[in-house]
Amino acid sequence: MQQTIDIIESYSKGDFPKFAALYDEDDQLHIEVLATAIVGRGDYGVPGSPVWDEIEDVEVEEYVINGDAYTSKELKAAFPDLYKDLATYCAEISFSTDWS
């Protein structure tokens, strides 16, 4: 399953000081990602029990920061000091997103 997920929409560097360098000249930051999730089926292991979808893994395919798209490799090259924190934050938000 693939989905575009809004990660950050901010109009003040005070909202995300860790990512202050990513804000544009108007002090705006918009980050979205294109993520792919592996969805599995969950149940209680008892015949007739309810069945539900569970997100097993999420991979961020593309990062879009203020309209500029980056692969993971490009993001790491463009923002080496922020890459790890940004990738981790995006992955956490993506994993907790409603994938239905």
pTM comes to 0.84
Residue with tokens 């890459």: 83
Q: Please say whether the beta carbons of 39 and 1 come within 8 A.
A: yes
pLDDT at 46: 92
Tens digits of pLDDT across the chain (100 residues): 899 999 999 999 999 999 999 999 999 999 999 999 998 888 899 999 999 888 888 999 999 999 999 999 999 999 999 999 999 999 999 988 888 7
99 by Cβ neighbours in 10 Å (0-12 / 13-18 / 19+) ranks as middle
pLDDT at 52: 87
The amino acid sitting at 72 is: S
pLDDT at 53: 84
